[in-house]
Amino acid sequence: MKRVAYKGLTFEPYIESSRIQARITELASEITKEYEGKTPLFICVLNGAVPFAAALFQQINTDCEITFIRLKSYEGTSTTGVVKEVLGLAEDISGRDVIIVEDIIDTGFTIERLIEGIKGKAPKSVKIATLLLKPEALQTDIKPDYVGFSIPKKFIIGFGLDLDGLARNLPDIYVLCEDK
Ligand code: IMP
Ligand code: MG
């Protein structure tokens, strides 16, 4: 795998597609076991969680549903700290077993804000599945239930993760080179 460049920044290979897919398969079987007979509702956080949610959802082997919500907190390579709800939930989620699907949890502000909103709509249960977690960056008490990979506090792109909208299409995950 080669380095890639976006907006004058260079990124090197970090997590290969085959490793990502294998880990998603493990998470899907864990979720399938825990939600057998419950018809969970997956809430995919747009835009970044789409590749993860799609791969995860396809491998859930019990009845389930999926819906989407859109929030935004990032500009460039650092968080703005302000989370704006861009597109709300259409479904009635009261009494539902909800699983929020995120691409990455960094400070945790985005997911914290989302959970507040979701808990206000009286779901039966709420769990969090995130492909990536930066434990050292966390500034909230959020404890995700399903984590693909815990990574250091570095900026990454690919498999849904973007730099100002670009690089979401890459099947592998890349990390920002600090020497360039
Ligand atoms: P938080 O609110 O700081 O936890 O940020 C969460 C959101 O910021 C994620 O849903 C991503 O959209 C974005 N984000 C956080 N870290 C990265 C990264 O390393 N690359 C790309 N986007 C990121
Ligand atoms: Mg996101």
How is residue 105 written in tokens?
A: 């949890």
Let me know if domain 17-151 sits in CATH 3.10.20.30.
no
All residues with CB under 5 Å from ion ligand 2: 48, 103
Q: How far is CA 65 from CA 50, 51, 116, 133, 156, in A?
A: 14, 16, 21, 24, 29
Nearest ligand atom owner, CA of 78: 1
Residue 76, token pair as written in the block: 């460039």
Strands 41-46 and 97-105, by their bridges, are parallel
Please indicate whether residue 149, judged by its CB atom, sits closer than 6 Å to ligand 1: no
- For residue 180, pLDDT over 60 is answered with no
Continuous segment of H or E residues that includes residue 129: strand 125-133
The pLDDT of 44-50, averaged and rounded, is 95
Query: Of residues 106, 162, 164, 172, which has the active-site annotation?
Result: 106
| pLDDT (tens digit per residue) in 74-131 | 556 666 556 666 567 888 999 999 999 999 999 998 898 889 889 889 999 999 999 9
Please give the average per-residue pLDDT across 42-48, as a whole number: 95
Q: 88, exposed or middle or buried, with CB in 10 Å at 0-12, 13-18, 19+? A: exposed
pLDDT confidence tier of residue 66, bands split at 50, 70 and 90: very high
